[in-house]
Amino acid sequence: VKNSIGIKKFKKLIDQTDNFIISGHENPDPDCICGCIALEYLLSSFGKNVKCINSDAIPTDLVILDYRKIITSIEEGTKIPENIENYYLIIIDTNVKSNIGKIYDLIKDKIKGIFIIDHHSTLDSEELKDCCYIDGNASSVCEMIFTIYDNFKKKMPKEVGDALYTGILFDTGSFHYQKTTPYTFYIASKIVESGTSPNDLYVLLYEHQSIEYLKITSYVLSTLRLYHNNQIAVISMPKKLLIKSGAKYDECASIINIPLQSKNIKAVVFCKENLQSVKRISMRSKGDVDVVKIATECKGGGHKNAAGFKLGPEIKKFKHILPRIITYLKDQINYSNSKN
Ligand SMILES: [Mn+2]
């Protein structure tokens, strides 16, 4: 059994507290959502009062993971409990407190305290170092929550096994990314032993897209333009293509990853417009190529390899900003190539 100071701190917390709010980061991903599901189950089984409240709703294609419909969001109208001063906030899958989005400002001055469970290695602030379980080597927050179950010698029902397996699957790119370790496979084997079916989850997660999704993907890929020796891909989704396909806007987020399947491509720029005509630029990159600096310059944000910003009063049109993005990415790619 893997153990750590972080888990001891977590045990102490649940000995002392009865009411919890669990929140993951904005635009929740499967690791974050499945982590909420598994942690809610654990704390509830100890008789605790637990609410999962995120800022943003679960993306449509992930709703199927929340079997008991326990995850709520401010976006969908969930209200903060009236006796909020009795609650402890558990933040998962980020250690930058404000990354949990608008719920943070709503409760930060009223709650009893904050505890963080995260697998990103930087810690936002010194004040929180006694109230966290951080493991920068863990593949996913779901891997860490498995470790918590293991420490409590707590049996997990299939619902929790399915959730943890799914979170690990996504955050490891189906057991391929760098932080995939023998321990990750050990956890997967334990979960499968307890009744989770990898094939059922594969079908649920990877073979569930709509025909409209297939159509919008083909339309968007037909807009592909390549720059800088086929190292930069630019794709776009104007509103008229979205309407023509019949797809939902949030079904389209993963299309940006398709150009990355090409060995040549180092960065992707995706301009997508929703039904309200709001245009958003999303960027992805590989390795040392950084996309967050240019996103921040344009009043957006993100991480080194995944970032974006909205078009607005300052930058009205994609074609106005694209040359600057291309120039920036060329420099990034040239610098990255020169190092390797
Ligand atoms: Mn994660």
Q: pLDDT tens, 274-285?
A: 999 999 999 999
168 Cα–ligand 1 center, Å: 8
**Mean pLDDT lowest for which of 47-51, 206-210, 225-229?**
206-210
Q: pLDDT tens, 96-142?
A: 898 899 999 999 999 999 999 999 876 666 667 778 999 989 999 99
107 Cα–ligand 1 center, Å: 23
Q: pLDDT tens, 285-330?
A: 999 999 999 999 998 887 788 899 999 988 899 999 999 999 999 9
CA 33 to chain CA centroid, Å, is 8
Structure tokens at 111: 């709650």
208 Cα–ligand 1 center, Å: 22
250 Cα–ligand 1 center, Å: 20
Give the three-class secondary structure for 74: coil
69 Cα–ligand 1 center, Å: 21
169 Cα–ligand 1 center, Å: 10
Going by C-alpha positions, the residue among 145, 121, 124 that lies closest to residue 134 is 121
Structure tokens at 292: 């967050």
304 Cα–ligand 1 center, Å: 15
What angle is formed at CA 260 by the lines to CA 256 and CA 261, rounded to 5 degrees?
A: 120
Residue 35 burial (C-beta neighbours within 10 Å; 0-12, 13-18, 19+): buried
Distance CA 269, CA 291 (A): 10
93 Cα–ligand 1 center, Å: 5
Distance CA 302, CA 256 (A): 15
306 Cα–ligand 1 center, Å: 14
207 Cα–ligand 1 center, Å: 22
pTM of the model: 0.80
Q: pLDDT tens, 204-221?
A: 888 888 999 999 999 999
184 Cα–ligand 1 center, Å: 14
Structure tokens at 145: 């929550």
55 Cα–ligand 1 center, Å: 17
Element (H, E) at 21: strand 19-24
320 Cα–ligand 1 center, Å: 34
Q: pLDDT tens, 50-100?
A: 999 999 999 877 788 898 999 999 999 999 999 999 999 999 999 889 889
Residue 33 burial (C-beta neighbours within 10 Å; 0-12, 13-18, 19+): buried
> Residue 289 corresponds to which amino acid?
V
Contact between 154 and 45 (Cβ < 8 Å)? yes
Q: pLDDT tens, 188-202?
A: 999 999 999 999 999
258 Cα–ligand 1 center, Å: 21
Position 1 scores a pLDDT of 61
44 Cα–ligand 1 center, Å: 22
Going by C-alpha positions, the residue among 135, 144, 196 that lies closest to residue 166 is 196
Position 302 scores a pLDDT of 76
Element (H, E) at 200: helix 198-206
β-bridge mates for residue 116, sequence order: 91, 132
Q: pLDDT tens, 139-161?
A: 999 999 999 999 999 999 999 99
Going by C-alpha positions, the residue among 270, 332, 334, 280 that lies closest to residue 304 is 332
Position 304 scores a pLDDT of 85
31 Cα–ligand 1 center, Å: 5
64 Cα–ligand 1 center, Å: 19
